[in-house]
């Protein structure tokens, strides 16, 4: 018995906040599945993603398969003082980098908050398509993201498009796993 082939990606499109809101449980399920989190985490993340949609510079790009199911999702917004991630990363940078260097990264950046491709459709270039479309007109002079440490497809993607180490082996409050904070200047090269 052979497994049914995975549905092919048909389109990669930008979504408005209203369009994402209409598909938010499905989008968060892609995140939960891709990250290997328990299913109950879906309900925990929906309010967080909803709150992010009101932030300045918010943008979202999604990939859909031939059955109009979400295959991948990415979003981000302008990072700013007072946001949880910004404050966590700022603290880590000030512990390890000269203040001037931390300011260079944090003064005007787009936070790539989420980028996930469903495991059934990984390895088809969707992550890079979503990333490039999302960052094509992202605000800011830099883009920053955090990702769990370790050799993954995500790491290979980020390195391929020019992300560099900003912080390594960093631990966010409330999560014991080591993360890397990666960054690069904008715009991306085509």
Per-residue model confidence as pLDDT tens digits over 82-129 = 999 999 999 999 999 999 999 999 999 999 999 999 999 998 899 999
Q: Which domains does the chain have, with CATH numbers?
A: 9-185 (3.40.630.30)
In degrees rounded to 5, what are phi and psi of residue 11?
A: -155, 150
- With DSSP H G I counted as helix, E B as strand and the rest as coil, what are the percentages for the chain, rounded to 5? 40, 25, 35
β-strands 142-148, 109-117: how paired? parallel
Band (79; pLDDT cuts 50, 70, 90): very high
Q: Helix (H, G, I), strand (E, B), or coil: what is residue 185?
A: strand
Active site residues: 158
Residue with token string 């879906």: 42
pLDDT of residue 123: 87
pLDDT of residue 180: 97
Q: Helix (H, G, I), strand (E, B), or coil: what is residue 47?
A: helix
Residues in the chain: 190
């Amino acid at each position: 018995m052979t497994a049914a082939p995975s549905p092919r990606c048909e389109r990669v499109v930008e979504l408005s906040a209203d369009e994402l809101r209409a598909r938010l449980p499905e989008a968060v399920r892609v995140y939960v599945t891709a990250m290997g989190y328990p299913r109950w985490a879906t309900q925990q993340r929906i309010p967080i993603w909803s709150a992010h949609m009101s932030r300045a510079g918010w943008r979202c790009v999604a990939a859909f398969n031939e059955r109009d199911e979400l295959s991948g999702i990415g979003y981000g917004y302008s990072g700013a003082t007072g946001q949880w991630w910004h404050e966590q990363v700022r603290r880590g940078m000030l512990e390890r980098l000269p203040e001037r260097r931390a300011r260079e990264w944090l003064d005007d950046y787009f936070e790539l908050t989420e980028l996930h491709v469903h495991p059934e459709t990984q390895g088809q270039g969707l992550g890079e398509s979503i990333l490039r479309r999302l960052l094509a007109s992202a605000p800011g002079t830099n883009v920053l993201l955090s990702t769990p440490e370790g050799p993954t497809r995500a790491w290979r993607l980020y390195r391929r498009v020019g992300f560099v180490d900003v912080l390594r082996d960093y631990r966010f409050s409330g999560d014991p796993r080591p993360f890397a904070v990666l960054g690069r200047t904008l715009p991306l090269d085509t």
